[in-house]
């Protein structure tokens, strides 16, 4: 199982949250971006170490990011990219969890 998608999403979320704060002084962007990013990074580390709940954490972080991006989808390219990448990560980790549970 690969932790690379979670590492990538985690890094992008942290950088995006900090960038959103730097541009607009948006504290919700900072808190949400860093929070979801840290959840992705924790999940990636757990997946890499083979610890329990890493896949579920990455799936949960993907769902959280997707659900927070959908209401803002029409506001520009950033929410659309967030929705697309979180959907891709969600499908990837959802498939991994499903395959793990069904065997």
Above 80 in pLDDT, residue 29?
A: yes
Identify the three-state secondary structure at position 51.
coil
Average model confidence (pLDDT) across the chain: 94
Residues near 18 by Cβ (< 8 Å), separated by ≥ 6? Answer: 30, 33, 34
Tens-place pLDDT, residues 57-84: 999 999 999 999 999 999 989 889 999 9
Quote the pLDDT of residue 1.
62
Give the global pTM: 0.93
R_g of the chain, CA atoms, integer Å: 14
Q: Give the Cβ contact number of residue 34 at 10 Å.
A: 18
């Amino acid at each position: 199982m690969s932790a690379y998608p979670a590492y990538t999403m985690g890094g992008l979320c942290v950088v995006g949250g900090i960038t959103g704060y730097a541009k607009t002084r948006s504290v919700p962007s900072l808190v949400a971006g860093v929070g979801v990013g840290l959840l992705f990074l924790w999940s990636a580390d757990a997946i890499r170490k083979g610890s329990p709940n890493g896949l579920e954490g990455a799936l949960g972080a993907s769902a959280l990011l997707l659900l927070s991006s959908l209401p803002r989808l029409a506001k520009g390219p950033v929410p659309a990219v967030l929705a697309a990448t979180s959907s891709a990560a969600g499908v990837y980790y959802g498939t991994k969890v499903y395959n793990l549970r069904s065997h």
